[in-house]
Structure formats: structure tokens, C-alpha cells
Structure 1
Amino acid sequence: MLNEKKQSPPADRGQFVASIVFFLGLGTLMPWNFFMTASQYFNERLTVLNVTSNGTCVTTPKNYNYDSWMALLSQLPLLLFTLLNSFLYQWVRERIRVVFSLIVILLLFSLTAALVKVQMQPDAFFSVTMATIWFINMFNAVLQGSLFGLVGLLPPRYSTLFMSGQGLAGIFAAVAMLCSILSNAEKRSAALGYFITPCVATLGTLLCYLLLPHLEFARFYLSRGESDNVDQSQEFLSSSDKKLSSKELEASESFSEEGRERSSVLAVFRKIWMMALCVTLVFTVTLSVFPVITVRVQTVYKDNAAWDKVFTCVCCFIVFNVMDLVGRSAPSLFQWPSKRSPLFPVVVLSRLVFIPLLMTCNVKDSKLTVLFSHDCAFVVIIALFAFSNGYLASLCMSYAPQLVRSKDGETAGSLMPFFLVLGLALGASLSFLLGKLV
């Protein structure tokens, strides 16, 4: 006798699971975004205090190449450990990976917050900061890959919500940057506030993750793959009331074993390679000009000191992050092109046009001919640039798990962040060349 009809999925009561997934996305990127906004604080800490012959103190900046080392020691561990996580999930349980990563990130940011009030020699402070950057990104890579894999087991719109949460983290960072510019607070007090905020956010992320399996809607989807395998084998075994022959019994055992097995990482990649390539290209284009080129764009209203002071923060960072969030949220309303449409890679390739468009804006001391000098032109270009980044990236991350079996959704979800980070690394590398051309 065949099993009864499969149980229909429960409702997401009060949209609790949706809210948690959104906050998980927010929590994964908000700590690092807040870390980035405090770059001025780090540069000021990395100064050497010299005493002249007449007894006066002079602060002499030492060339630590902080920004270059920060970029290198953030992208490298993200790339390496996102790849490692694609294989790590097969040996280490997801719960252990996520909880351990969040606890380590919380401790590292607590240490960074505590060091705000501790006097240290620049060399020692630089070493501690670089080590913190490395380990935060190392565990953040494992965290993001694990959570993308978890979200891949839920319905597609939850992947979009997760990406939207990550987009909101950038807005928080941009608003914090604006507040720091307009604020008259003492710099170290502001820095302490920066690092307490991601500590609280990381703790909230941990609590949300621990709550998720206790919600009926999430529990249904997270355990569905295992349940489906058991149902399939039971249906096969009970498909006839007659006694099974030895050959039929052997075939049923083979079927049951095959149903329980997941596809290999390579087999999953063969099904999602187009989405992987597209998300790589999306972020390569984005990081090649943002922020290395966009932060150099200046306002035409140089006489307005107040506007000149906040122009980069508002027109570059806030506009970018707001439109990126809008783009990440848009797939919940419409999805075009479809996941199997030949137009999808064409649309992704079309974003290459933003590179020359942004390079020919009103960039300070530009070697190129300025074609878009007005502030409004720059705002329109970067708004479209950011929207397409968020929209296409969200589609890629949402489509990939749909191209494989439900039991392979976690594998696909864990693979995609590697290609996302690969795009970030390639874009950051390309930005050095484009920065010299402008």
C-alpha cells in the first residue's frame, strides 16, 4: 500500500522565519561593514609620536599601507575559507559551524571594542588589527557559506530575504559614517560605539539562529530532504503486497541507498555553473569601480562647504547601499530573466557598461575626459549600478538551489558564496589597474 499524500508545508506564522532569515543576513555583514566605517580611527591609531629637541610632540604617520593590507587580509581568507566550507559541511555539522563562528566573531569584536580604550604602540596595534581582520573574515566565510546552505533548503523567497538583510547592513554602515562626519563626539568614543553595535548584532544573530529550528515552518523544510528519502524507500518497499524476490529486494536496497546519498560537489557544480559564473561577474564589475573610483567623484558645487563635506557619503555610499537593498528585495516581486533563460548571462554582461560610465564622471584629477560632470548624473548612474548589483546577485543566489534536487540544495547554497567572494577578490584586484587609469 502506498503512503498517504505528503504533508503540506505549514504556514510561516507571523512571518517569524522570514524575519529571522532577514536578520541572519543582516547579522552576517553588519559587523564587517561597521569595521570598515572605522578606518579613520585605525589610521589615527597607527601614528608614531615623536618628541623633538625643543620638547614638543609631533605625530608622524608611518606608512603601514593599512588600506591595502586590510583589503588583502579580508579577501584572501574569505576566498579560501568559503571554498573550504563547500567541503567542510560534509564532515562538520552546520549547527557547530554556525554557532562556533558567531561566538568567535563576537569575541573578536569585543576585543576590538576593548582595545579602543587601551594605549598600544602602533606596531603592536597594527599586528593585532590585521590578525583580527584575518580571523573575522575567516569565520565569517564559514558563517555565510553555512547560512546560505541553510537558506537554500527553504523556499526561494527566503534566499532573497537573506540577501536583502545583507544589503541593509551596508545602509547601517553608511548611516554610521554620515553620523560620524556630522558628529562632534570624541573619535575614540565614536569608535567604541561602532564596535559595541556589531557585538550586539552578532549576539542577536546567534539567538535568532538557535530559535530557528524550534519554529514549525523552518523545521518542516530543514528536515524535508531526510523525510523525502525515507518516504521514497518506504513507497518502493510497500508498492506490492507480494513477497519480494531476492532480485527485487536487492534493487530496493540499492534504491534506498541512492535516495539517501547526496550528489558530489562536482556534480552539483555542473548544474549551477552558469549561476556561479554570473554571480562572479556581477561582483567583479561592482568591486572594480566601487569604491576605488566612486569615492574620488566630487561635487560640482565646491563652494557649498556643507554639501561638499557629505557628498561622498550621501551620493556614493548611502545611494549605493539603498539601491542595492532595493535590488536585492525586487526578486520577491518579479523575477526576470528566468533561471534557464539565455538572456540571463547577457543581462549580467551588460553591467560592464557601468565601468566606463563611472570612470568618466567628475573624478578628481581624472586623466580621462569627464562626460558626466553634474552630481545628478553621477547619482543616476550609481543608483542603476547598485540596483543591478543587488537584483542580479539575489537572482543568482536564489536560482542556484532551484537547479538541483532538494537534497542538494545545501550543497548548491554552500558553493555559491565561494563564487560570490571570488568575484569580490577579482574585482578588488582589477580596481588597482582601473584606479591608475583614472
Structure 2
Amino acid sequence: MWNEKKQSPPPVDRGQVGFIIFMLGLGTLLPWNFFITASQYFNERLAAPNTTANSTSGATTKSYNYDSWMALLSQLPLLLFTLLNSFLYQWVKERIRVAFSLVAILLLFSLTAALVSIDMQPDTFFSVTMATIWFINMFGAVLQGSLFGVVGLFPPRYSTLFMSGQGLAGIFAAVAMLLSILSNADKSSAALGYFITPCVATLGTLLCYLLLPHLDFARFYLNRSQSDNVETAQELLSSTDKKNLEAKGKSEEIQERSSVLAVFKQIWLMAMCVTCVFAVTLSVFPVITVRVQTVYKDSAAWTKVFTCVCCFIVFNAMDLVGRGTPSLVQWPSKDSVLFPAAVFSRLVFIPLLMTCNIENSRIILFSHDCAFITIMALFSFSNGYLASLCMAYAPQFVRSKDCETAGTLMTFFLVLGLALGASFSFLLGKLV
């Protein structure tokens, strides 16, 4: 990483590093959220008939099931490459992983924005879009895992800032969805705006990352994991051992770092907790929550925006509040048995949301809009709060030189929870 002697006392962060880490969190999830927002655009483009070159009347229309394929081809590479990143990070420098991933995501979104103005056969457009989703999530997995590893080197409150940035990405997407519903702009212009926005945000994320090592406060923590190892070894070893250390060079430093399995044994409870948090969330959101309908069906305006406001905006707003709350209070503590109990108690939200006002549902216990909004608020707040605590607590169980490994492993289990929840949602969707 960046070589500089350890400073004592540590420099003071005047807000620049906190802002940059917040923006890095925003940049990791903003592209994915904008893909969800543009779902209507993709479905409408794919609804156009396929035409053959031999016949003007040979037009066919077929269902591409875009939303299901989008979910599958996003979670699968996210899971696989997060796992790969957990083991390969020791061979590929973090700066290369982050910078290359951001550049690749920027280029892929630029391609998607360009395709808005290009006429294509639905079959071709579907294939290109699915490939884009696969590669964006592939690079996104490497990016997110690498940045969680970097953030793990800083004090715990910076993990909270990073998670809050990710939560704000959902707000951006939800507001964009609302504006698209209320505006009179054509679908093509709206889609172009959607995809230009994450392009600009990704470029900003890259610039923020490049600026980070030039700040004194950031350099202190980025270098500490390496400098602590070398200085401690030099104090304890005899002069003969020092000569051997100089001769062996980097090999000794690599041996000082704990194995992935050893780090997992120390953080396994936090890993299981973050998996449970996101598995519960993705099992019902959005597959169940988007089916809930308002009881005020006589109001056309409210019916039009009900799902956007009560499902997406409420969820993302309260999730953001939940992610930011640990910077003020952290309860239960990382060693308390109440913490895993609180995580697993979120299972109650599955039957609660399934018994809201869903059309043709066999059991409706909470029919009023206020009941649904209250349940959604608690559901999303607990998601953001407990997930942030998991990510902030995990690095505290390991030595400073293993914080990056812990952060990377936690990211894998976070994505594992997303994949498990998305898979379980297919079953829950059939039960209501």
C-alpha cells in the first residue's frame, strides 16, 4: 500500500475522510439500484416484437421474464466473485482491484446509456443487458469486498458511514422512480437520465478513492496494519533475527497475516448474523412488499404512487436511518447474547408482511395502509441498524493486520444472505 512511518499521535479527521468513505459506500450500490429503478424501461423495450429479415409480417413477441433473470444474474456473480475475492486479495493489490473494478463499471454503464438511443432486436438487447448485469455485479462484488476490507482498517464509526452511504444509494433510486412516475418525460429520456447518473457517481467514487491515501488521517490507518507488524517484529527479534528478516523481505510479512480460516473462527458469529439479516430482508423485499395494495383504491393519484412511496421510499429512508444510528448508539454490545437474539427475531417480519393487504391473499391480518407502513418502517430500520453493527463489530474481534481479511469475509457472508433470501423469495411468492 502507501509507505509512510506510523504517526503518533494520530492525525485528526476534519471530516474529509468520513465524507469520502460515505461516498465510497454510495458508489458501490448506486449502479445496482438504478438497474432496479429502470425495470419498467427494460420490460417495455423487451415487449417490442422480434422482426425477421425475410418477412415484414413475421413479428413475434415473447416473455423474457426480465425481473427474475435480473435477480438471478446479479446474485450469482455477486456471490461467486465475493468468495473469490476473499481468497485472491492476498495476490492482487487492493488499489488495482478497486480502480479496475470502478473503471469497468463506468464503461459498462456508459454502454447501457448508449444503448438507450440504439434500436435493437429484443433478443439481442436482452442478451446484451443480461451480460451487462452479470459483469457489473462481478466487478461490483470485487469492489464492495475490497472497500469493506479497506474500511475495516479504520475506527468502527467509519464502517457505519460506509453502510450509510450504501443506504443513501437506495434513496436516490427510490426518488428517481417517484420522479419518473410523476414526470411527463418519455421513457427513453428517463432511462438515459437513469444511466448517466450512476456513470457520474462511479466517476466520482473513483476520484474519491484516489484522493483517500493523500489525506494524513487515512494514511495513518492504511499504513498501520503493515507498519505495526514490522516494528513489533524488529523490537522483539535479536540482531541476528533482524538480518534474517531483511534477507527474507516480504515473505516474513505474509506469514504474519492470519489465514482466512483462522480469521473466520474469530468472526463466525458476526458472519452468521449478517447472513441472517439480509436473508430475511431479501426473502420478502421486494417480492412480497410490492404486492401490497392500498385500501384507498378510489384515489387514483395515491394508488399510482402507493408502491413507490410506501414500499421503496419508506424502506430506503428507514434503512438509511438504521445504518446511521450506530454512530450514535451501539446496543446490544458485540459480546452480548442479546445481539444474535435481536438478529434472529427479525424472522417475525416474514409472516407480518405476508399477512398485509395483498390481493387474492388467503390470510389478511393488516389491511390498512398505516399498518403496512409501520411494519415496513420497523423492518427496514432493523435491517440497516443490525447490518451496520455486524460490519462494525467484526473487525473488533481480530488483530489490526487481519481487519482487511475480516472485512472481506463479512462482505461474502453479506452477499450469501442476499442470495439465500432471493432464493427463498420464490417459495414465499407462491404462498401468498
The alignment's TM-score, normalised by the length of structure 2, stands at 0.93
Counterpart for residue 273 of structure 1: 268
Equivalent position amino acid for 1:335 in 2: Q
Instruction: In structure 1, give the amino acid aligned to 2:132.
Output: T
Q: Which amino acid aligns with 2:70?
A: M
Q: Deviations over 1:221-248 (max 9, x none)?
A: 000011112221232248xxxxx7x799
Match of 1:291 among 283, 286, 291: 286
User: 5 Å matches for 1:147-166?
Assistant: 147-166=147-166
| Structure 1 length-normalised TM | 0.92
- 1:89-127 CA-to-partner distances (Å, cap 9, x unmatched) read 100000000000000000000000000000000000000
Please say if residues 17 and 218 of structure 2, whose CA atoms lie closer than 8 Å, have aligned partners that are also in contact.
Answer: yes
8 Å contact from structure 2 (residues 50, 121) kept in 1: no
Q: Where do residues 239-258 of structure 1 align in structure 2 (5 Å cutoff)?
A: 257=252
| Aligned position for 2:74 | 74
Output the CA distance in 1 between the equivalents of 2:422 and 2:94: 30
Which of 327, 331, 339 pairs up with 1:332? 327
Rounded to whole Å, the distance in 2 between the matches of 1:47 and 1:273 is 46
What is the deviation of 1:74?
0.3
Is residue 35 of structure 1 aligned with residue 29 of structure 2?
Answer: no
Counterparts in 2 of 1:179-218, with a 5 A limit? 179-218=179-218
Report the residue type matching 1:427 in the other structure. Answer: G
Distance 1:323-1:247 versus aligned 2 partners, 3 A rule: closer
1:126 is the counterpart of 2:126: yes
SS state at 2:49 partner: strand
2:382 corresponds, among 367, 385, 388, to 388
Q: For residue 307 of structure 1, give the secondary structure of its aligned residue in structure 2.
A: helix
Instruction: Summarize the alignment of residues 28-427 of structure 1 with structure 2, pairs less than 5 Å apart.
Output: 28-49=28-49, 61-237=61-237, 257=252, 261-367=256-362, 369-427=363-421
SS in 1 for 2:18: helix
**What is the alpha-carbon distance in structure 2 between the residues aligned to residue 175 and residue 372 of structure 1?**
26
Unmatched 5+ stretches in structure 2: 1-5
- Unaligned runs of 5+ residues in structure 1 are 239-243
CA distance in structure 2 between the aligned counterparts of 1:141 and 1:165, rounded to whole angstroms? 16
The Cα offsets for residues 55-93 of structure 1, whole Å up to 9 and x where unpaired, read as: 999986411121111111000000000000001110000
> Aligned partners of 1:28, 1:6: CA distance in 2, in Å?
30
> Match of 1:424, as an amino acid?
L
Secondary structure in 2 aligned to 1:49?
coil
The residue type paired with residue 122 of structure 2 is: P
Q: C-alpha distance in 1, partners of 2:321/2:407? A: 22
| C-alpha distance in structure 2 between counterparts of 1:293 and 1:321, whole Å | 16
Measure, in 1, the Cα distance between the counterparts of 2:241 and 2:316: 61
Contact 1:233 1:259 in 2 (8 A): no
Q: Which amino acid in structure 2 is aligned with residue 32 of structure 1?
A: W
Q: Is the 8 A contact 1:49 1:58 kept in 2?
A: no
Residue number in structure 1 paired with 2:3:
none
The answer as to whether partners of 1:233 and 1:252 remain within 8 angstroms in 2 is: no
Matching of residue 12 in structure 1 with residue 13 in structure 2: yes
- For the aligned residues, what is the CA RMSD? 2.4
Larger radius of gyration: 1
Asked if the contact 1:232/1:259 (under 8 Å) is kept, the reply is no
Change (3 A) 1:74 1:252: closer
Amino acid at match of 1:11: V
